[in-house]
Amino acid sequence: RGSRIEDRWIGFTLSPKLWRDFWRSYCKKYLDGKYNCDENRNLSAGRVQTPVLGWIIQRYDEHQKSERNVIEAIFRINGMTESISFIAEEVGFTGDPEVLQGKKVKVIVRKEEEMEITPYPPYTTDMMLTDASKHLSLGAPQTMRLAQDLFELGLITYHRTEVPR
């Protein structure tokens, strides 16, 4: 009984802050204000949500603070310029990226081929319900409510599809 009161106290206190402050900031920063950045009443804080939200914020802050060596490769071919950026450690480069500054490299094409890559078929409602049940142990009503929330936020397209076209 005490934990229920505590859940409601924390939830009722923090949830409005999530609706107003967190959602507006998140929406403007990450969704470019393309969606309704007013209150979002689909966010809630309670005994389960609050620690998870804290963990997400902590991991995000750690990620932002971590030092990463970014290498930008600029290619000039037949008057066209293209650049590619990548994190040095992810491609196995462990040296100081500064030593690459202004260096020219020779690119040797080892294999050139054309291939057609076909996309996966559209994700249908029945596939979504099956995956949600199998991987997340969610029932169909809960899955459809979550999909509806994502749709209303503009994060997914219409989710009630039966036939891929």
Active site (catalytic) residues: 158
The whole-angstrom separation of Cα 145 and Cα 131 is: 15
CA distances from 35 to 24, 32, 99 (A): 10, 8, 44
What tokens appear for 30 in the block? Answer: 């990450």
Phi then psi for residue 75, to 5 deg, are -110, 130
Element (H, E) at 77: strand 70-77
C-alpha 5/C-alpha 90 separation (Å) is: 47
SS3 assignment, position 70:
strand
* CA 14 from centre of chain: 23
